[in-house]
Chains A and B, each alone.
Chain A
């Protein structure tokens, strides 16, 4: 393609998106975006037709999280654009780079309450990293280039581009080179100064009971090997956030497991007893800290974080190192000393014994099918391959985090910050598109599945091999659990009367099965993996099972509700 030529705004849009390396977009057409859809035929981009625009944003998000590249979602104006809001907010809170393209009514009609007009840049202002309203074809190229750059750089996030219909239709001279991003106020590349490095090193070398808190930033920054080297060199154990799972191998001797509200008991106790926390690309979310007043009160804190606005937001830190985690660790690594931490590590090991006796895996089969069984068996069957598990939100999400042992980064995709039910199925579609060779598993509750199950049709239409495990307990399980603990078992609006998921899957042409006993779990997983097409498994699990341990909202991190150790009797009581 010549670099200077007359093109419509719509053609420039696809040309620029293509030049960003995008091969697939997820979208849904409509009036105000029709010129762009018309111009798709001249583009190499593959468009995946979704069934709801929320799905398109989650797919773009899943694509981004599985690959590290920017995902793209497309919708029309008005309801098309507002349907994207949940997906955009999800990507915002989990720092996921997506670019959303929305059509807008003609520029002369803006502000007139025209048909399908919504002020989507106004609506998405607080939930995007940045957004644009484009009213001229001549602005399209630079805006797209800026949007991709902003979405992927620094702390990544969603960027929305709203393009009026006339800006898509009119023609202008297209000069890609001249349309360079102009972002004079945008500085994503901060780095700490020498003094701060020295202070951090001093704290690290003086600490007796240090813990690394490993977050999503490790995966975004691509600092997995640096974190591993740092942990091994310093002998410091690693606790992970939900979104950090996979950033440090689960089987590594220094891996403690997940922290926080449903973290392992020994991990939370370790954090509370620590004298130094090294926060690597995590933001001290309330699900991780519990009551801030009592959180790690005897620990000094070092916070390595790319976003300066996160420093001292929730937890006051002693040394902030603001910058890209990988670069900061590269600076620190040559200077850290190896210190014998066996006493500290032994004391942590002692905490684990108590948890083991409460672990449902170590108890005899009571004939009940527990979600933990399903997930643990799924893990055993799929652990050796290139597997991506995409979870929804709720109990199954926490059981997955506890019982699926993630060894590699980008092997778990889940909505952490926003806790978006309905995320898993569409996000898995995006993950499969990004990594066609990977074995993609959706682990989803019966509630969340029904929020976006329309995307089953997308899976079939696009011939995607996605495996779906519905953890079906006939309840909105996590809400029921809160009602059990905090609302005197008043199960208001949590029991679900579900359709027959097997028949539902079959109606879409998806091979489907129902599993009610543990002995059927492994064969069903194997059958799903062997089948050359999407598979849906309806796992009918124990209805009133509970995620343990649990730190109640507002409680201190070490005050956990634990699973009663005589679980067999408890189960039979029900």
Chain B
């Protein structure tokens, strides 16, 4: 089944490679992986979805912890969580199709972010099912281009990023060498 992990890592160069390389090396197939900053500058956050059974999912967690730069791993597959994916879909929309496409977009609460003579670009945020649903109904009109971010996830309820890493900003590493891209 598809497992969703939230992985907190030190915001240091090369950490993304370490995580991605781990999945490759242990022959686990990443379904999606997103990474970005958190409210703490020294911590980056990844949302990773992987197809794995129960045993595999535990071993993925244990293997992630073996990476020295990994701070915390949460398997939120069975937790109440907000899960969002973002897609931009460029649809062929000639004059007569345009109103139908706009109607569909509004049913899905998607936004039109670009209009061209022969096409519309729709931005949609939501769970993967919702985006799949919109995509399904737009397909007959001709999907010219599509991009999805992959999911980001957050547990529902109170609570903040449960980790922190030492802030090395007082360390005399020249500023331009502190990479924020992992």
| Chain A residues proximal to chain B, CB less than 8 Å | 121-122, 125-126, 129-130, 133, 135-136, 138-139, 150, 172, 182-187, 307-309, 311-313, 316
Asked if A185 meets B69 with Cβ closer than 8 Å, knowing A125-B18, A308-B62, the reply is: yes
Are A138 and B62 in contact, with the CB atoms below 8 A?
A: no
Q: Pick out which of these stretches binds chain A: B102-110, B137-145, B171-179.
A: B171-179
Known contacts A185-B70, A313-B59, then 4 further A-B pairs from the complex at CB < 8 Å, ordered by chain A residue: A125-B18, A139-B173, A184-B10, A309-B66
Chain B contacts of A313 at CB under 8 A?
59
Are B65 and A187 in contact, with the CB atoms below 8 A?
A: yes
Are A150 and B68 in contact, with the CB atoms below 8 A?
A: yes
CB distance from B4 to the nearest CB of A (A): 20
CB distance from B110 to the nearest CB of A (A): 39
Asked if A308 meets B55 with Cβ closer than 8 Å, knowing A122-B17, A185-B70, the reply is: no
CB distance from B165 to the nearest CB of A (A): 5
* Pairs A–B under 8 Å by Cβ, sample size 6: A126-B21, A182-B168, A183-B68, A311-B58, A311-B62, A316-B55
Which listed residue, B9, B21, B59, B177, touches A136 by the CB 8 Å rule? Answer: B177
7 tightest Cβ-Cβ pairs between the two chains A and B: A309-B62, A308-B62, A185-B71, A130-B68, A184-B165, A182-B166, A309-B63
CB distance from A304 to the nearest CB of B (A): 16
Chain B residues 8 to 41 lying within 8 A of chain A, measured CB to CB, are 9-10, 14, 17-18, 21, 25
Are B55 and A312 in contact, with the CB atoms below 8 A?
A: yes
Chain B contacts of A316 at CB under 8 A?
55
Are B25 and A126 in contact, with the CB atoms below 8 A?
A: yes
| B55, B66, B71: most-surrounded residue (chain A CB, <10 A) | B66
A265 to B120, CA, bound (A): 73
Which listed residue, B10, B17, B173, touches A138 by the CB 8 Å rule? Answer: B173
CB distance from B109 to the nearest CB of A (A): 39
Are B174 and A184 in contact, with the CB atoms below 8 A?
A: no
Q: Is B82 located at the chain interface by the 8 A CB criterion?
A: no
Q: Is B97 located at the chain interface by the 8 A CB criterion?
A: no
Are A136 and B173 in contact, with the CB atoms below 8 A?
A: yes
Count class of interface residues, chain B: 20 to 34
With both beta carbons as reference points, the residue of chain B lying nearest to A309 in the complex is identified as B62
Are A125 and B17 in contact, with the CB atoms below 8 A?
A: yes
Chain A contacts of B72 at CB under 8 A?
185
| B9, B68, B173: most-surrounded residue (chain A CB, <10 A) | B68
With both beta carbons as reference points, the residue of chain A lying nearest to B9 in the complex is identified as A185
Q: Is B164 located at the chain interface by the 8 A CB criterion?
A: yes
A-B contact count (CB 8 A): 61
Chain B contacts of A129 at CB under 8 A?
66, 68
With both beta carbons as reference points, the residue of chain A lying nearest to B165 in the complex is identified as A184
A313 to B70, CA, bound (A): 21
Are B68 and A185 in contact, with the CB atoms below 8 A?
A: yes
Q: Is B163 located at the chain interface by the 8 A CB criterion?
A: yes
CB distance from B20 to the nearest CB of A (A): 10
A551 to B67, CA, bound (A): 35
A266 to B179, CA, bound (A): 58
CB distance from A293 to the nearest CB of B (A): 16
Are A185 and B177 in contact, with the CB atoms below 8 A?
A: no
Q: Mark B114-146, 1 if CB is under 8 A from A, else 0.
A: 000000000000000000000000000000000
With both beta carbons as reference points, the residue of chain A lying nearest to B17 in the complex is identified as A125
Are B65 and A308 in contact, with the CB atoms below 8 A?
A: yes
With both beta carbons as reference points, the residue of chain B lying nearest to A126 in the complex is identified as B25
Chain B residues 42 to 98 lying within 8 A of chain A, measured CB to CB, are 55, 58-59, 62-63, 65-72
CB distance from A302 to the nearest CB of B (A): 17
CB distance from A167 to the nearest CB of B (A): 11
With both beta carbons as reference points, the residue of chain A lying nearest to B69 in the complex is identified as A185
CB distance from B7 to the nearest CB of A (A): 10
A183 to B62, CA, bound (A): 17
Chain B contacts of A133 at CB under 8 A?
14
Are A312 and B59 in contact, with the CB atoms below 8 A?
A: yes
With both beta carbons as reference points, the residue of chain A lying nearest to B72 in the complex is identified as A185
A312 to B164, CA, bound (A): 30
Chain A contacts of B172 at CB under 8 A?
138, 172
Which listed residue, A121, A183, A185, A307, touches B14 by the CB 8 Å rule? Answer: A121
Chain B contacts of A312 at CB under 8 A?
55, 58-59
With both beta carbons as reference points, the residue of chain A lying nearest to B22 in the complex is identified as A126
A82 to B65, CA, bound (A): 27
Are A184 and B25 in contact, with the CB atoms below 8 A?
A: no
Are A185 and B67 in contact, with the CB atoms below 8 A?
A: yes
Chain A contacts of B166 at CB under 8 A?
182, 184
A316 to B59, CA, bound (A): 12
A466 to B25, CA, bound (A): 39
CB distance from A30 to the nearest CB of B (A): 24
A313 to B63, CA, bound (A): 11
Chain A contacts of B66 at CB under 8 A?
129, 307, 309
With both beta carbons as reference points, the residue of chain B lying nearest to A155 in the complex is identified as B66
A172 to B173, CA, bound (A): 11
Which listed residue, A135, A136, A184, touches B71 by the CB 8 Å rule? Answer: A184
